[in-house]
Amino acid sequence: MTDTSQLQADLLAQIAAADTPDALEAVRVAAMGKQGQVTQLLKTLGGMSPEDRAVAGPAFNGLREAITAALAAKKAALDEAALNAKLAAEKQDMTLPVSLPATGTIHPISQVMDELAGIFADLGFAVASGPEIEDDWHNFTALNIPESHPARAMHDTFYIDGQPNMVLRTHTSPVQIRTMVGQKPPIRIIAPGRVYRSDSDATHTPMFHQIEGLVIDKGITLAHLRWTLETFIKAFFEVDDVVLRFRPSYFPFTEPSVEVDVGYSAKTGKPAGQGQVDKWLEVLGSGMVHPRVIAACGLDPNEWQGFAFGTGVDRLAMLKYGLTDLRAFFDGDIKWLKHNGFSAFDLPSISAGATP
Ligand code: PHE
């Protein structure tokens, strides 16, 4: 009995004195390992008389439990101390200013795409995408532009050599088709991306950028279209009383179709409020999705309606940031980019416009 208490006191003292995981492990092996003192003691129970065992059994087991518990507690304490030391050593000062490399800005087109995605995210739109090399069906046929349709000629399409059914997409509208075919309504998406037309002068480049919008749900009307476009354009240009002109128009894939002009001041070259507008710039094509387009995607046009719009990102960027030459967007002139680019820390949203 005295032996057991003495051994327990010794071992507990050793455990208390162990101040590293290695030291603690050595104590554990010496006590509880195969040749350990406690293990050896427990082995002697087998050779005892039943009377002796009745006394020694509980004492030895009590010893084993006390040592096991003390080892575990000490290990937890050492682990925690090690973690605290590590955390203290690796401490980061979150208040230090960011050091940025001096070069590199966000291109105005990327900036405007981000701004638009931010505005439409706040309105509940997801971002969708599609391929730039598109097939005839998605780019034209499903959008109610059959082969003989004059609108095909209007698009100045780039065809792919040796692949009669493939084109460089002439607009982002094929993403409407891909989305309606691929997911169940209700749908609220925008699709930003590059589009291509064989057209090149001071105001046209063969590659430019569009953002498509598509809403498909039950009971959608032209009023929803108008509110959405007004809300987006006000937020984008950060002009609360921006003046918009909605003109009837024609697109094969919308009926009715509406084009939207933004009023601006010739003096500033930027969108202006009531009374200061003396020029108009067309920025948007839109309309109610044609029932034939909805049907081509396998949806019942009597059940589902919606609106769509497409807008030229390059033009929006020019108008908002007062950039006059479209071709400068593609020159890669580092001076131009430094002057007209944006900080990577701009986080555009509907409530806080970007600052150049
Ligand atoms: N795809 C049309 C264009 O490129 C724009 C548009 C999109 C018009 C959606 C109506 C609806 O000119």
281 φ/ψ sector (left φ>0, alpha ψ -120 to 50, else beta): beta
The protein residue with its alpha carbon nearest to ligand 1, atom 2, reads 310
The protein residue with its alpha carbon nearest to ligand 1, atom 12, reads 285
User: Ligand 1 mean position to 235 CA, how many Å?
Assistant: 21
Does residue 149 or residue 55 have the better pLDDT?
55
**Ligand 1 nearest atom to the CA of residue 170, by list position:** 4
From 86-90, 136-140, 215-219, the region with the lowest mean pLDDT? 86-90
Q: What are phi and psi of 132, to 5 degrees?
A: -80, -30
Pocket test for ligand 1, best of 138, 171, 175, 311 (most atoms within 8 A of CB): 171
What is the pLDDT, as a whole number, of residue 102?
Answer: 58
The protein residue with its alpha carbon nearest to ligand 1, atom 7, reads 310
The Cα 148–Cα 171 span in angstroms is: 19
User: Ligand 1 mean position to 312 CA, how many Å?
Assistant: 9
Q: DSSP readout, 81-147?
A: HHHHHHHHHT---TTSPPPPPS---B-HHHHHHHHHHHHHHHTTPEE----SEEEHHHHTGGGT--T
Domain map of the chain by residue range? 2-89, 108-340
The answer to whether residues 297 and 142 touch, using CB atoms and an 8 Å cutoff, is yes
Which parts are annotated binding residues for Mg(2+)? 255
The answer to whether residues 172 and 194 touch, using CB atoms and an 8 Å cutoff, is no
Q: Which of 189, 173, 186, 169 is nearest to 117 (CA)?
A: 189
What is the pLDDT, as a whole number, of residue 199?
Answer: 83
Q: Please, what sign has the CA dihedral across residues 267, 270, 276, 280?
A: positive
- The verdict on the CB of residue 307 being under 6 Å from ligand 1 is no
The answer to whether residues 233 and 200 touch, using CB atoms and an 8 Å cutoff, is no
Using a cut of 0.95, tell me whether the model's pTM lies above it.
no
pLDDT tens-digit map of 211-244: 999 999 999 999 999 999 999 999 999 888 889 9
- The verdict on the CB of residue 139 being under 6 Å from ligand 1 is no
Distances (CA, A) of 295 to 28, 71, 204, 248: 76, 73, 34, 24
CATH of 108-340, one of 2.120.10.80, 1.25.40.20, 1.10.3720.10, 3.30.930.10: 3.30.930.10
- The verdict on the CB of residue 310 being under 6 Å from ligand 1 is yes
Pocket test for ligand 1, best of 168, 173, 179, 197 (most atoms within 8 A of CB): 173
pLDDT tens-digit map of 12-53: 999 999 999 999 999 999 999 999 999 999 999 989 999 999
The neighbouring-strand residues paired with 271 are 264
